A and B are shown apart, each in its own frame.
Chain A
């Protein structure tokens, strides 16, 4: 064990070849770069909700450690139904909160719970779990902009 006082015996310097040091530094930097890209980079422009004939936009989100998909693109000015399917037993994700809509939804385990949101203006509306650790984003875009980005994506 390494407690404050017992630190000294563990302190031991070992001469390592410069090549190994360089390699470790290199791998470390690459690892950092990759990790930052993986967690913070944008991965796909978000999933576009499908639209029913009545103009209602619908999407199902799987809750398992995170929200899949976690970035949802919808059109402005149309009603939206989000269905959450929770398979993660952790109590942390038992609630999903949409702060901008003042809505909290309880998600029973192994079940699908739906939330209907009124048509909203273009903007980015985050949502998260009860503890604010698992997060997703609802991106509401003007219709034309959405088409363009869809085209760009294809």
Chain B
């Protein structure tokens, strides 16, 4: 490292020493704990509150939902690693041994396994499941959203007629509910244990679940130690002890990855991932996803309430430059409500938008908005890609008279901004639906009243169209609906999709199996050396 100033070297050394001191359990070959370095510490461990995919993914090892997706192999896997991902067309039982849906879709019946227990000793029976689902249902936060699959008020009852049967009755059939029930934030919570320990506040920092792993130690923002649950009903997890280190500093992540101090490194900036290509003893896994980086615009706040103004911004964003410099090619461009990996994606409607400054300036003039405009853009701490995107947008948009101030918020502050009812600033967000279904996505992202509408986008026409989806059963009809909605969306330009993400993970050569579902150690029990 010659040529680097003493200052930088000293700092790097300090970081290295601190890192080694902080993680005495560095990975050894095929024995000892399995070390995961992860850049996004979850803001809370309470399943009913967590909403973000990234934070959702961390809950998966701790809580078991009733159902899960079948796995399928990923095409472009590096040599020596078996990479699988979720097959969202096939839902099978998980905690539930089996399940059935009635003809009209209104009744879902789940058959549980007999004699299961929570780690606390409380019985994991139908009554416990009912209690857990009801807690999610009544939570008023993301848990409600998922359990009702956005059809608020659709759930009539949840019953536990006997010790191994749970029945959910709906007012109207909703195929998305089965999908929702595969998500970890609907994982079954040991409600009795939570109450015994002081309620929801305790749950934010502890686990009371039935997952393949137990939370042996948790230091928020620092480290979590997971140990295999000996009473887990399913196949025993491959790795008995897992240490997840939360490291938000990209430089440290990179250093540790290079020094093979972690078996799996998640959340590295794409630039760093690119620099590790071909590194000895490391493999890079790429999985195209239906999540994307976007700049969410606050449609209810002037001047972002002006459609032409938003359109102008969409033409003033240098997409190719961002794809090259921020994503380093690990992405796909598009412009529309759905990303290219999505089933509803139509290349004619959702084609990428050009970077055209002249057109942007003309649109600004047409819009009637007076420049210069001062606006804020919010990014999350620890997200280098977001910072770069915001910086590029700042430079690009200043050329059409829109001056951005960049505000960097820690995880909790960012969560607040994202969850605010009326958004006042642009937000760089990395997001996507937990369920790869257009209905699911539009339900939360299109409806005016939805709390999870990333841009406060409100189009009466689009929403009216969406309401008609329940009547459509044929695929061709549904696709036509999605296309119509997409066209309206593109004209309104409520937000700016920057690129669809190709997820990258860096694993050491020892890792033989790796499963992708969402960000984070999702389905951790399937990972191993």
Partners in one complex: no
